[in-house]
């Protein structure tokens, strides 16, 4: 047999980004250019919600940052808020609020929802106790005790369910909760001693007792990467819930363009509780101008309701063990899902679907610098 002499492969050449052409595409006014001529326009869809999935290294973070950056540039009156669990969501032009043990800012989960039809201290206490139960693994007795303590804290601050005019009084915070627990321990309550141990990190970090960061800027990132996962989950759920409450009080919007976009890169970090903030935003946010961009590495973290009620769906490469389930949930051909490469996505916007080579965030920044 004769061996054939193969020609060597040509040396790989990286072509520079054509910044002129791409800049014109991105600023075209047809919405946000995702890549290779595909535009995403939230005003042309039934709702602005986005659900995205992609394994580690798929380009999911670059895709989300690209959309957030595009929204901030295309719609300057819109507010974009990123909840950042891993510290990797930095976007050019942002105002950042890092929450950690030494941070001057925090967030108060006990802030009362002022909605006369669905607010007040009693309902707030129930919601907070449910989140604490899930995040801190409270038992039934501890959850009941927590409810009783929260009710006591509201009364001490003269905030009463039956008197809506008192709902605007300064709410209690977790300093009040700690004092109430210490007081009960002094009187020999063993269950309060156990509850104190469960809440030890919560009190130590102090983020639920400090002034809430302002939400005045148009592009805001809340950096939770230095918090324990349980505290990050409570902070994120509290912020998302308060955003939904405030938008409901502002009333319904005219048209389809949201007032605010909330980006959450890791759905698994959010507490899975009945009536969670994400569920409320997905169900009712459209009417009040609050849209959610929710992403995950695994389809297990995204419910059928979240997927079904999001008009925009983005599938990036996933683990091969999840291809079949992702194909079924997102209604893309199994072979198409299995063949995706990093920064290559299957997108469905309403009834329209196509495969897109995503223009990543880092290239967009190069264009605009």
The answer to whether residue 272 scores a pLDDT higher than 90 is no
In tens, the pLDDT along 176-228 reads: 999 999 999 999 999 999 999 999 999 999 999 999 999 999 999 999 999 99
Show the tokens assigned to 2: 């004769």
What sign does the dihedral 231-236-239-240 (CA atoms) show? Answer: negative
Do the beta carbons of residue 110 and residue 128 sit within 8 Å?
Answer: yes
Alpha helices in the chain (DSSP H): 19-26, 60-74, 121-136, 140-156, 174-186, 190-198, 200-205, 229-250, 277-288, 304-308, 323-330, 334-338, 361-368
Q: What is the dihedral of CA 188, 192, 196, 198, to 10 degrees?
A: 140
Band of residue 367 on the pLDDT scale cut at 50, 70, 90 = confident
- Cα separation, 209 vs 99, in Å, equals 12
Count the neighbouring beta carbons within 10 Å of the beta carbon of residue 350: 12
For residue 13, the model assigns a pLDDT of 33
Average pLDDT over the chain reads 90
What distances in angstroms separate CA 138 from CA 107, 126, 133, 182, 324, one per listed residue? 21, 14, 4, 18, 36
User: If you ran DSSP here, which 8-state letter would residue 307 be given?
Assistant: H
User: If you ran DSSP here, which 8-state letter would residue 256 be given?
Assistant: S
Mean pLDDT over residues 269-279, rounded? 85
In terms of C-beta distances under 8 Å and separation of at least 24 residues, what long-range contacts does 239-243 make, across chains too? 239/81, 239/83, 239/107, 240/83, 240/264, 240/270, 240/277, 240/278, 240/281, 241/113, 241/127, 241/277, 241/280, 242/107, 242/111, 242/113, 243/81, 243/277, 243/281, 243/290
The CATH class given to the 19-99+221-368 domain equals: alpha beta
- Cα separation, 9 vs 284, in Å, equals 56
Band of residue 368 on the pLDDT scale cut at 50, 70, 90 = low
Domain coordinates of the chain in residue numbers?
19-99+221-368, 121-205
Put simply, whether the predicted model's pTM sits higher than 0.85 gets the answer yes
What distances in angstroms separate CA 3 from CA 7, 301, 317, one per listed residue? 13, 53, 39
User: Do β-strands 95-98 and 344-349 pair in parallel, antiparallel, or remain unpaired?
Assistant: unpaired
Band of residue 71 on the pLDDT scale cut at 50, 70, 90 = very high
The answer to whether residue 369 scores a pLDDT higher than 80 is no
DSSP state string for 130-143: HHHHHHHT--HHHH
The answer to whether residue 9 scores a pLDDT higher than 90 is no
The answer to whether residue 20 scores a pLDDT higher than 80 is no
């Amino acid at each position: 047999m004769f061996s054939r002499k193969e020609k060597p492969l040509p040396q790989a050449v990286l072509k520079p980004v054509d910044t002129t052409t791409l800049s014109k595409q991105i600023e075209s006014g047809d919405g946000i250019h995702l890549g290779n001529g595909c535009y995403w326009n939230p005003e042309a869809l039934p709702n602005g919600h986005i659900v995205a999935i992609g394994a580690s290294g798929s380009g999911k973070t670059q895709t989300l940052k690209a959309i957030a950056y595009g929204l901030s540039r295309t719609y300057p009156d819109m507010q974009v808020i990123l909840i950042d669990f891993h510290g990797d969501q930095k976007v050019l032009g942002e105002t950042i609020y890092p929450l950690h043990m030494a941070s001057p800012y925090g967030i108060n989960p006990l802030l009362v929802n002022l909605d006369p039809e669905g607010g007040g201290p009693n309902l707030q206490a129930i919601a907070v106790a449910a989140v604490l139960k899930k995040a801190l693994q409270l038992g039934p007795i501890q959850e009941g005790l927590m409810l009783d303590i929260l009710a006591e804290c509201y009364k001490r601050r003269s905030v009463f369910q039956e008197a809506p005019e008192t709902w605007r009084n300064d709410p209690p915070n977790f300093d009040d909760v700690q004092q109430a627990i210490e007081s009960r321990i002094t009187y020999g309550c063993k269950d309060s001693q156990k509850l104190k141990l469960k809440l030890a990190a919560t009190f130590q970090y102090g983020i639920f007792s400090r002034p809430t960061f302002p939400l005045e800027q148009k592009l805001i990132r809340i950096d939770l990467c230095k918090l324990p996962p349980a505290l990050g989950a409570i902070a994120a759920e509290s912020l998302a819930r308060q955003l939904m409450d405030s938008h409901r009080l502002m009333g319904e919007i005219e048209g389809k363009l949201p007032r605010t976009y909330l980006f959450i890169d890791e759905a698994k970090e959010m507490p899975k509780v009945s009536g969670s903030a994400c569920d409320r935003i997905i169900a009712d946010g459209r009417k009040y101008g609050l849209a959610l961009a929710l992403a995950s590495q695994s389809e297990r973290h995204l419910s059928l309701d979240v997927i079904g009620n999001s008009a925009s769906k983005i599938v990036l490469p996933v683990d091969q063990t999840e291809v079949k389930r992702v194909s079924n949930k997102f209604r893309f051909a199994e072979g198409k899902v299995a063949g995706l490469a990093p920064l290559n996505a299957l997108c469905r916007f309403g009834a329209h679907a196509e495969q897109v080579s995503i223009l990543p965030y880092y290239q967009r920044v190069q264009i605009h610098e």
